Each structure stands twice: as C-alpha cells, then as structure tokens.
Structure 1
Amino acid sequence: MNGIIHGCSHPDDEDVSFRISEEQIFHDIFNYIDFLFGIIKPKKVFFMAIDGVAPRAKMNQQRARRFMSAKNAQEAVSKARKKGIKIPDEKPFDSNCITPGTEFMAYLHENLQCFVQMKIATDSCWQGLRIYLSGHNCPGEGEHKIMDFIRSERSRPDYDANTRHCLYGLDADLIMLGICSHEPHFALLREEVKFGRQKFHRMFNKILQKKKAKVDEITFHLLHLSLLREYLSLEFHSLKEKLPFDYNLESVIDDWILMGFLIGNDFIPHLPHVHIHEDALPLLYATYNEVLPQLDGYINEAGVLNLKRFEIFLKNFAKNDRKNFLEQMDDEAYLSSKRTSDAWKKNSNNDEQSFNEDLEVFDLSNDETNKVTDIGISKGAFDSDSNASDECEEITDQRALTSTKAVSRKFSNIYEYVRAKKKSISMLFN
C-alpha cells in the first residue's frame, strides 16, 4: 500500500510547483485500490497492508532516506527560485508524513475503513470475501505482514495447497518473500516502470480525470514465481549427480535466498565488492555449484544457518577478493590520474592567461616608453638647456624599470609553467 500512497501524493518529485490536497490524495488512493481490485479479481481473500513501525535493522536506513528526502526538496526549491520559476504560496505535501504514527496516516486509516465499508455495501464484487486492512498501527512492513498472514493460513488444517496468491508491489524483495513461501502458485503484480519518464501514478491520475480508465492503458507485469522455480531448477540441475546427500529443490531455493542476501537488502549491507550490477550473482552461483558437493548438507536448513558450511562457502567465494581488489585499485588509479590531468589542464589555462596578461603589460610598457620618448624629442626635452629633460629622463627610467619587471615575471611564469607540466606528465606515467 505504501507504494500507492507515495505515487498518489507526490507523483513527480522534480515538479516543485506541484500541489495537492489530502482529499485529492485519498480520492486517488481509493480509485487506484479499486482499479487493482478489478485487475486481480480476488475470489476468497483481499488483504491490504500499510507499513507499520519498521524493525530496528531498517530504522537507520529509513532515517537516512527521509533526511535526504527533505534535503533534496529544499535544494529543488532553491534551484527553481534561482531559475525564476514561480513557487505557489501553498505548502507542498511532505512525503515524510507517510510514516507510522503521524496525523496523516491516522486520518488515512479512518478513511480507508470507510472506503472498505462503502465498497462492501455497494459493490457486489467486494461481497462474499474476507477483507483485511492492516494499518500503520500494526508493527512491521506491509509485505512482511502479508507473508505472516499466508503462513498462518497454511497452518490451518483446511488449507487448500492449490491456493493461488497474487502480491502487488514494486519492491524487489517481494521476489524473495514470495519464493521463500514455497507456494507452487504465487505471482507478483507490478506496473511497468520507465525510469526518467513520467511516473505511472501521475499518468493513471490523468486517465481517471478523463474518466477513461482502462486496464490496457497501463502496462502491468505479472511474474509467476513458479516459472522462476523452474529456472532455478535448471541452474542447479548439475548438482543432482554430484551431491553425497539427497537433492532437494526446496533446500536449494533456501540456499539461493541466502546467497541473494549477500548482495544486500533493506536490513543488511552487502559484502565488499559484491554488487548485483557487477555480475555478483553468477559468481555466487558458480561458487555454490563448486562448494556444495564438498559439504555434508545444505547451508540453509529450513531457516537455520549452518555456520560451518557457510564458512566453507565464504572461504571459497573469498578467492575472488584479490582480483576484485586489484580491479578496483586500477579503477581508482585511473580516476585519480584523470582528476590530476583535469586539474593540470585547469592550472595550465590559468598560467597561460596570466602569461598573456604579463605580455600585455610588457608590450604596454614599451609602447608607453616610446610614446614618452617621442614626446620628449618633439618638445626638445633632451636639450641640455631644457628643464623638462630631467623629468622626461625620470619618466623614461620608470617605464624601463616596469618593462624589466614584466620581462622578469614573464620568464618566471614560463619556468613555473614548464615545471608544472613536467610534474603532471611524470605523475600520469607513474
């Protein structure tokens, strides 16, 4: 639910002139919930969950994100004013109020309850279902509260093993949460996100305003986790003939989830040099295929971590650390040389500008000296009987001294320029 709330309240953070009322936010949220309900068409249960108080492991990350959100908003307003963009007098919506315990969330929860009661009373599609609303006053993140509910349902004696689940959300960790449930029929629903373009919620709000809301006007993706399970089975199929113990796909999936945590998530940081954008996952899988036949069991035993086996896995995975460190050192050396080169070019331009200014002073001094000399000759200043002779000689001496200083400064700058250039070149090659 939090993704819907954020998208309907501040659809475009770059638009500093965007203003919206709470009533309009609630209206858009209700419309989008009804829109998703029409896509999914649940038959038994409809569960809506809003993030409550987050676990301690995530609080630091949330604080940093909210601090940066406020800081970025202030900087965006400052830049807009410098560009001459007119800022409305009304206060903008503060996204940091989408936090458990705020007045906004309490008011939203009350309105959501009224919305659900209204839909049950007026819409036949909402009738005959078990509808749950877990608000901000219930601790835990929304997706984790949903998973707790699914686990509690599975523990019931009358639970149908063929029950189909559809979980909506944009978070990537929903894949991990869904597959760790080991449910055979589990799907994830999410909108197509095009980075750098208008966000989907803003587009959807425009569609609603035109009263032409159609499912095919917004592109949705449906990820069937059963298909992902088949791909994982193909990825680790070679282990069947190598393991000294029984091969179990569910246990392999548990280990796969553990390997996914090594690249980091909202609760734990990633290992050094283990980045998903730098092919960390294929390296983890290759290490797993190599190490598992040497062990006497799986690393993750139904949620219990076997530390001895995990240590062996990490030792083998650490063999790649030296290569990664060397590659990063090469990258840092290149960036350092690049910064040095850019600084040298900047200093060179400054030296050339100063050098040209010195030449101008030198030329100006010579011109003025010649001018004074010509004036003195035309007036007969250098005649022995003229009183102006001494004055002109004094002026000429001063101009000559200025010219001499300019020449000296010019050659001094040339020397410093050449020395700096030689130093920069030696640093580049070293």
Structure 2
Amino acid sequence: MGIRGFYNWLRQNYGKTLVDLPDVALDEAGKPVFGDPSSPAPCGVSVDNLYVDTNSVVVNCFDLAKKNDNVGLCQAIFDQLDYIVAMARPRRLLYLALDGVVPRAKVNHQRSLRFQASHKMFALNPQNHGTGVNSRESTKVPGLLAPGTTLMVTIGEALRYYVAERLNSRPEWAGLEVIISDAAVPGEGENKIAGFIRQQQISPGYDPTTCHAICGSDADLILLALATHNPNLILLREVHNSFLSDMNPNGDTYDDVEEEDRLRPRVQSAQSQSQAKRQYPQYQRLAIAALREFLGGVLYHYPQQLPNFQTDRAIDDWIFLCCLLGNDFIPSLPALVVQRNAVSLLMKFWQEVYHRRQTYLTRANGEVDLVFLEEILAKIAKFEVAQIPRLFREDLDQYATKKYGKPLRLVWAHNPNLEFPGHPLPVGAKSEVEPAPADANRKSPLVPDVKIPATKPTVVAAVADEDGWLKCQLEPEPEEPGPFARLDETHRKELGREWYYRTRFREIKDGPTFFKALSRAYLKGLCWVYQSFYVDCPSWTWYYPYYYAPLAQDLRGMFKFTVTFDLGKPLPPLAQLMAALPPNTRSHLPRALANLMIDPQSPLIAYYPERFSMDQNGPVMNANGAVLLPFIDLARLDQALTAVYPSLTEEERQRNTLGAPCLITGPASPQVGSLRKLYAKEPDPTKRRPLKPEGGGYLAGRISRDPAYTSGMTINFPLPSSAGTPTPPPLLPSVVGDRSMRAIYHPLSSKAAAKAEARIGAQDQVMVSPPTGGGTPGGEELPTRHSPAKPVVDLVDIVAAQDAFRNPNAPQGLKAPTGLFGRGKRSQTGRGGMGIESGHGGLGRGGLRGSRGQ
C-alpha cells in the first residue's frame, strides 16, 4: 500500500531518523562478503530477525537482467539477497516474502495501474500497434511479476534452491532458520512480514529484546512498523535516484507527457551514470524508535505541552489520520495532498482537538471515537473550501464561466437511463466510455465577455544596482481575480461543491441517497484500511465502489450506522490475473482463460473495454488520475472461470493453488530437533506439531511434513541451461546430500471468527473488532494483540533522536517532552540497547521500558 509523496515528506521533515549505511565489502569477483561475525554489521545494529520484501529485489533484478534470461535473473536475485544478508547479518531468522494474491480492494488498484501502463506504452510508441491496451493481438510482456504466472512459480522454486545451497555451503548461515512465503501464500509481502512480527510478539515465550530489521521500499512499511509498537525494529530502505526529487523538491508530478518525455533522457543519463559506479544499491536505515519519538515530540508540543499524553496512543491516531491521505484501497480527500504539507496539517488539527477534548481518536482493538473524528473533518472541510480553488483554479474558472448567471445550486438528475460510473457497468452493455467530464470542461468555449489570462502577465521595471546602473527586471503583475474568485463566499462554496461532484461523478441520481451511500462507503473504507495495520485482512472481498472520495463536508453527520466486513476468501491466483490484466497481456494466462478477454460472446467481455477514460484529476494529482474502468463482478467472474477450470493442465492447476510458507533450517538451527521429531514420529502430512526450540532461540508456530522433502536429497536449480538440458549452469550447481531440513510452516494468527465488525452506537464510536478467521491459512488461535514487554531501543538511534530534540536549532523548535527523553532515568537493559524509565507522561503500551503515565 503506497501513499504518494509520503517518504519524501518524511525525509524532508524527519531526515535525522535516516542514516546512510556503508557499502558491504566485495570479493575479487564482485560478490558480497559476509564479514567477521564478531565485528559490527554494516547496518549498525545487532539484528536477530531479518525480513526481506523480496518483490522489490525481484523488480530491481528484472531491470538488470537481460531480456528473457531467467537464469541471469535468478542469479541477480541471489546476489542481491547475499548483499542484504551481509549488510544485516541476522543471527536467528531470515524471512523472505513475495507478494501473493491481494484483497479485492487492491485488485482494483492493480487493474487501473496495468491498464494505464498499457495505454502509456502504446501512447509513447504509437508505431507499435500491437502493444496497446486496445489491441486484440497477444503481446508477450516479459516477466510479469504477479501470482499465478510461470515466472513467479519459478522464482519461488529458485528461492528454495538458494536457501538450501547457502545453508549447506556457508558457515555463517548454518544456525539460521529461514521462512519462505512465496507468491502462493496470500497477502502482500509487507503485510505478511508485519503480521508475522505481530504474531510472534504476542506469543508465549517471545523474547522482548529481539531486534527486527525489515528490508523493503514500500512507504506503508513505515506505518506497519509503527503499528507494531515494537521499538526494537529498523527499516533498511534502498536509496533511490534523487534526480527528479532535486529538480522537483515538492514531489509534484509533471502535467503532461511532453514534459515527461523531455526529462526522460536526463533521468536515464543520471541513472546510467549511477549504475556504472555501483554494482549494488545503497541503503539507508530508518530507526522506528527514533521516528516514534520525533512524531511523539511534535504531537506533544504543539501549541503547548498536551496533558495526559501517551506516545503510543498518539501514534495510533496519527496512523489513522494517514488513512485520509489516500492509498491503494481508497482515494484521498480532495484537499489533502501530501506534497502540500497535508500530513503536518492533519497533525495540527489533531492537536487542536486533543487539547480541547483530552481524549484520543482511536482506542484499543480498533475503536474510533467518532466525535473526535467529526471535529477533525469539520476542520478539514473548512480548509477544503479554501484549498480546492487553489488546486483547481483553471477548472473552477471555466465552470463558473459556464454557470454565470445560472442558479448556483445542485440539481439532481431523475432520468433512470443515466448511468453513474461509480458502479459496475451492466454486463452486455456497450463499453465505450466517453471522455471524462473534466476533460470536456477544459475544452468548452468560454463566455466571450469574460477574459481568463492563460499566463501570468509581467511588467518591466527599471531598478538601479549598487553602482547606480539601471537594469530591467521582470516583475509579476497582480493577477486579476478570475470568474470563480469574483463570486461571494457562499456562492464559491456552493459552486465548488457542485463542480466537484458534477465533474467527478457526472449525473447523480437521487442526491440524498447518493451522498449517504458514498459517505458510508468511504467511512467503511477508513475502518478497513486502519484495521489492516493492526490485524489480518478484515475482508478479502470488500472494495471501495467509487473512483473518488467525497468532500469532507459531506462526511459529517454520517456516522449512525453499523458496518460489518465479511472475511471471505482470497481469490485464486489465475482469477486475480483475470481481474487485473488488460487483454494484451493475456499470454500469461492459460488459453481457455485468455479467450474470455477477447471473445465477443464471453460473459466477461464488458470488463475489458476497447476504450476507457483516464481522468487526470487536476495538475497536482496527475500521477494518481482515475482510470474509469468497470468494476468486475466477482460472482460473474467465478462463474465464468469455473466453467473453464476443467480444461486446465496439471501445471496450470498447480499455479492456481494457494499454499503455505515453508520453514528451512540449517544444521545448527535450534529448530532442527523439532523437524527431526516431525519426520520420525508423524507420518501423516496433515498433522501439525508445535515448534520446540533447543539450545536457545524461539520461533512460535506449528509445522507439518513437506511432501516434496526427503532427507539428504539432491536439489537442482529449477531452470534448464541454455542448451535446454536439465543440467544446471556451472554457476548454479546442484545441492547434493542436502543437510538442511524443510517443513510446511503454519503461523500463528488472531482469534478465529468469521467477521470483523465496525459498530457505531449510541456513544458515537466505531468499534472495529479484530478480524477473525485468520488471514493466514491454517493459523493457530491467539489472544488479541498486545504490546511486547520490556522492549529495548537501539542505543545509536535513540541517542541521535535525543540530540536532535535537545538541539536548540532543531526544526520547528522541538524539545523533548518530559518522560520521552532525558528527564527519565536510564537503565541498561542488555545487548546493544537501553531503556528509559519515564518520570512523567508515560509512553503507553509497547513503548520504552518504564511506568505508564499517571
């Protein structure tokens, strides 16, 4: 889940939490060297468990490998993983997570991105008529990184080979336990990682001093890490090329393809020069404990010290506020743009409401105080009235010109034949979507007696320099207010609201009912997204059924209703491909399924339109423009696919099967004894045995036999050589007499149930109970989440955060609140860390070691 511009905002405002890491040493062949285990790791922290969001590694290696060279791709993946392992030097666990099938809400986002990417590919290369989204010729897109494709199955097998080879040949790997959660396991990689950490830290026997390191590039990892309330957690993030950021410091996107084309050669040149100098990416460390204290300090000190302040509860509230900024599941409120300091604005609104109410927005187990939320929305609505004219000035001027002299009020359409594009198109209807209304408005002629200047006029001024010489200087002339700005405040508010809904939602049938449904759907989406940060997926089938968010003013007074989430089931991998891919990438599907995209008689043909609209939604939101595609009916999709499933081959059926993670242990792993007992005493592969570590270490969960594993077997690299024989290339030899052990791993999960509910009752609060049924197949029951006891914070990062707060020149004039830094008593808590005993204010659940606030 991404929040556009969020990482740039974090870097600009809290750059002290980021530390550039030194490069890992390389041998003569350019391969990473693990180094002396007794020396400090390059990441600067003693890491116990390392988690790698492997999809980001695969994407980087895919760009580096030669076209259609899957052997070279896998070798590049192995080298990159060696580099990350050498950088972190984990001592207990390595967790490799690939993206599996995702919730329905994310499928809609992937569908939009893939259709949009296919359209751009055709727009930038118009001579390639066979590569557009409208083409009925099958186009082979190399290496489609999605569950259910042959490439992702191969990468999963290659990772198992890689781990077995390293455990058998590298002494520094011998004591590791490795979990591989490949594309057959449902869920995005970062959510699987965060879920595993949550499950471990609430399990009996968990060691609270365990240090976790997550390597990944997704911005939502920051929120997921904060939501664990585990201070012994760091993020390792690749440093991306900053060329565009330097040219465009606000992070805004460029308005048109021509500007993008003009900049592309310079970007590619800078990237090629960077690639020539570096064989492996540079990484940064983000200390979650330090970020937590920075955020807590900002929230605590504005405009004055807040009473009864608890950092962890404030962080929970801050995560909920970030849900309003838009993500892969719901759009942002129209006035909130991260690049225009929306995060800081929401923090200010929260502080004002908290200072008056002295309560929190969120509560334990996902409860939300809706009185608090309604006050924040009221402040956003007031800001919205002033902000939207700034973001969409030209559009509003043109709309005001067209409406000049007409009643400035909403008029609801009652024509039953008018379709509202926020809902799925009726199957069988002709799917030729007209251009987006916003585009039509831009092309509409203006009323002749109103003049809107296209550019800012300038005047020439004569000024004298220090030597008395006169010189010319261009100065902007004060702009004449446009048609919209000349309206009075009441009419501006009404016309801005009318313009937003007319251009975003077109004709609206039954206005009051529409606003009620829209607002409730958005509030339900906020609950779904917030819940996903703390527990397993609330619902695999829920999705937001509109392209745009409502205005904040229309969310007020919409809280008296009950929301329930049906947990549902993940889509099969091939069904997700059908739901997300455009027709020109159908070569990654079995032929019987691919034909459903192009056959005129197909029951699904309406979901693959030959023409569709992309509403760029204004200059600031250019990159997040809405792709106006019909939403797929999952029931109809399942019915159509069920009819063709019998024609699949055995290999295709395997690709369409969901799986579970596997646990691979080295010869010196504490879990070797558990696996040996499993294979010695449990012949039934359906029976599960608990893990019982020997000789130190702890891993919670259960295991069952892996039918594909045999003790001492030979493990071959899964791809043939270039000659087409099963003999592996010399660089990737077979593992003969495998000494590692492998089993199916069944993780822990939350308390079992069938629904996650969000209730808004007489006390004006939403209760989102923990999702039940466990998002992970075969999970074991656990009590609801609570924070780990006696956490330890890395000494280097916490001292850096202290110094930043104590610095009188620190940005925004921040100083450490009592109980967060330096007025408490330090106490040594063990390896590489420290605790702070709070004297006042408390740190809430899961905070630094110390007493709670009084």
Render the CA deviation track for 1:253-300: whole Å, top value 9, x for unaligned. Answer: 000111111111122211111010111112111111111123352111
1:63-102 pair list within 5 angstroms: 63-78=111-126, 93-95=141-143, 97-102=144-149
Q: Shift in Å at residue 72 of structure 1?
A: 3.1
Q: Shift in Å at residue 178 of structure 1?
A: 0.8
Render the CA deviation track for 1:383-406: whole Å, top value 9, x for unaligned. Answer: xxxxxxxxxxxxxxxxxxxxxxxx
Q: Shift in Å at residue 156 of structure 1?
A: 2.2
| Aligned counterpart in structure 2 of residue 228 of structure 1, from 277, 287, 291 | 291
Paired position in structure 1 for 2:460: none
The 3-state SS of whatever aligns with 2:196 is helix
Distance 1:427 1:160, change over 3 A: closer
The 3-state SS of whatever aligns with 1:101 is coil
2:84 equivalent to 1:36: yes
Distance 1:315 1:226 in 2: 32
Distance 1:201 1:115 in 2: 29
2:184 equivalent to 1:152: no
Distance 2:339 2:376 in 1: 22
2:306 equivalent to 1:250: no
Distance 1:268 1:426, change over 3 A: closer
Report the identity percentage.
29
Distance 1:249 1:183 in 2: 13
Paired position in structure 2 for 1:4: 57
Paired position in structure 2 for 1:326: 389
Contact persistence 1:187–1:222 (CA under 8 A): yes
Render the CA deviation track for 1:229-262: whole Å, top value 9, x for unaligned. Answer: 121122022378544xx32110000001111111
The 3-state SS of whatever aligns with 2:90 is coil
Paired position in structure 1 for 2:301: 238
Amino acid at match of 2:296: S
Contact persistence 2:353–2:372 (CA under 8 A): no
1:408-423 pair list within 5 angstroms: none
| Aligned counterpart in structure 1 of residue 183 of structure 2, from 136, 142, 145 | 136
Paired position in structure 1 for 2:164: 117
Contact persistence 1:52–1:100 (CA under 8 A): yes
Paired position in structure 2 for 1:297: 359
Paired position in structure 2 for 1:87: none
Distance 1:230 1:51 in 2: 31
The 3-state SS of whatever aligns with 2:187 is coil
Contact persistence 1:28–1:205 (CA under 8 A): no
Distance 2:221 2:269 in 1: 21
Q: How many residues align?
A: 323
Q: Shift in Å at residue 200 of structure 1?
A: 11
The 3-state SS of whatever aligns with 1:266 is coil
Amino acid at match of 1:6: V
The 3-state SS of whatever aligns with 2:114 is helix
Amino acid at match of 2:335: H
Distance 1:325 1:200, change over 3 A: closer
Paired position in structure 2 for 1:60: 108
Distance 2:312 2:231 in 1: 11
The 3-state SS of whatever aligns with 2:179 is strand
2:335 equivalent to 1:273: yes
2:350 equivalent to 1:288: yes
Q: Shift in Å at residue 333 of structure 1?
A: 5.6
- Structure 1 unaligned spans of 5+: 13-17, 82-90, 338-421
Distance 1:106 1:426 in 2: 61
Distance 1:236 1:70, change over 3 A: same
Render the CA deviation track for 1:200-240: whole Å, top value 9, x for unaligned. Answer: 99889878xxxx96xxx642111111111121122022378
Higher strand share: 2
Distance 1:427 1:284, change over 3 A: closer
The 3-state SS of whatever aligns with 2:156 is helix
Contact persistence 1:10–1:93 (CA under 8 A): no
1:352-363 pair list within 5 angstroms: none
1:196-211 pair list within 5 angstroms: 197=267
- Cα RMSD between the aligned structures? 3.2
Contact persistence 2:300–2:306 (CA under 8 A): no
Q: Shift in Å at residue 26 of structure 1?
A: 1.1
Contact persistence 2:109–2:328 (CA under 8 A): yes
The 3-state SS of whatever aligns with 1:166 is strand
Paired position in structure 2 for 1:413: none
Distance 1:222 1:44 in 2: 20
Q: Shift in Å at residue 92 of structure 1?
A: 6.7
> How high is the TM-score relative to the length of structure 1?
0.68
Distance 2:286 2:57 in 1: 19
Contact persistence 2:213–2:235 (CA under 8 A): yes
Distance 2:270 2:87 in 1: 16
| Aligned counterpart in structure 1 of residue 371 of structure 2, from 308, 313, 316 | 308
The 3-state SS of whatever aligns with 1:300 is coil
Distance 2:164 2:275 in 1: 23
Moved more, 299-308 or 108-117: 299-308
- Structure 2 unaligned spans of 5+: 1-53, 130-138, 245-266, 401-446, 454-479, 484-854
Distance 2:207 2:389 in 1: 54
Distance 1:193 1:92, change over 3 A: farther
Paired position in structure 2 for 1:162: 209
Distance 1:198 1:219, change over 3 A: farther
Q: Shift in Å at residue 67 of structure 1?
A: 2.0
Distance 1:200 1:142 in 2: 30
> How high is the TM-score relative to the length of structure 2?
0.35
Contact persistence 1:165–1:187 (CA under 8 A): yes
Amino acid at match of 2:76: D
The 3-state SS of whatever aligns with 2:175 is coil
Distance 1:276 1:126, change over 3 A: same
Contact persistence 2:99–2:188 (CA under 8 A): yes
Distance 1:284 1:306, change over 3 A: same
Distance 1:28 1:203, change over 3 A: farther
The 3-state SS of whatever aligns with 1:297 is coil
Q: Shift in Å at residue 329 of structure 1?
A: 5.0
Distance 1:314 1:336, change over 3 A: closer
Paired position in structure 2 for 1:263: 325
Q: Shift in Å at residue 304 of structure 1?
A: 2.2
Contact persistence 1:8–1:201 (CA under 8 A): no
Q: Shift in Å at residue 177 of structure 1?
A: 0.7
Amino acid at match of 2:374: E
2:97 equivalent to 1:49: yes
Q: Shift in Å at residue 149 of structure 1?
A: 0.8
Higher helix share: 1
